[in-house]
Amino acid sequence: MIALLDYGAGNLTSVRKALTYLGATFETPTVGENLANVDAIIVPGVGNFNATTALDNHWRRHIANVVAHGSPLLGICLGLQWLFDGSDEAPNVAGFGAMTGRCHLIKQEDDDTSVSGPFKVPHVGWNSLHRKRDSWVLDGVAEGDQVYFTHSYAAPVTEDCVGSTHYGVEFASVVERDHMVGVQFHPEKSGDIGLRILKNFLNRVGS
């Protein structure tokens, strides 16, 4: 059983439909204690980083417990950002802190040539993944494969970054530390490549 966390940050219909399509069994826990027997956790979410305050110490304790036992965790979009120390979007809100670094507003560097036309934030649309190192969650995903993004803040490229993307700056679009992963894009909206990434996660849950 996979726990799909619903903490009020955006609508989960698309993630539910994709998981259902892939044959996954999941539930949406209402209290942290519900996580006691889950095989994996998915932290989805779109919107403001401030929304992650709903994942309070009670939830964090139970989530940390699941992760400590080696169960996979997938953060999607805001869920990836939450894995870090925090975000400039809500400076007083602490992230989960599993990965070191802070998320910053996307901005265009002077020497950047990756943008065609007026530079816009949020970063909306299909953009390429660049493989940084071996990754189980990116198994079968080729250098340059495109996925669908919609976000204004982004995580830094650190040792946890296994896939990066360029938009104004280079940012971490896929992070991975052992069984903990995060994707800045929406795999549930990224066609066959996105389904492959979700499938990789589900395979890890089963193994």
Give the interface with other proteins as residue ranges (CB under 8 A): 10-11, 13-14, 17-18, 20-21, 46-48, 114-118, 120-128, 146, 148, 150-151, 166-167, 186, 188-192, 194-195
Nearest approach, Cβ of residue 167 and other proteins (Å): 6
DSSP state of 98: S
Whole-angstrom Cα distance, residue 28 to residue 135? 28
DSSP state of 20: H
CB of 122 closer than 8 Å to CB of 152: yes
**Residue 186 is among the residues annotated as catalytic for this protein:** yes
Comparing CB distances to other proteins, the nearer of 10 and 97 is 10
From the list 77, 89, 103, 179, the catalytic residue is 77
Q: Report residue 33: phi and psi, to 5°.
A: -60, -25
**Residue 77 is among the residues annotated as catalytic for this protein:** yes
Nearest approach, Cβ of residue 46 and other proteins (Å): 5
Comparing CB distances to other proteins, the nearer of 18 and 38 is 18
In single-letter form, the type of residue at position 154 comes to A
**Residue 58 is among the residues annotated as catalytic for this protein:** no
Q: How far apart are the first and last CA of the chain?
A: 13
Show which residues are catalytic.
Answer: 77, 186, 188
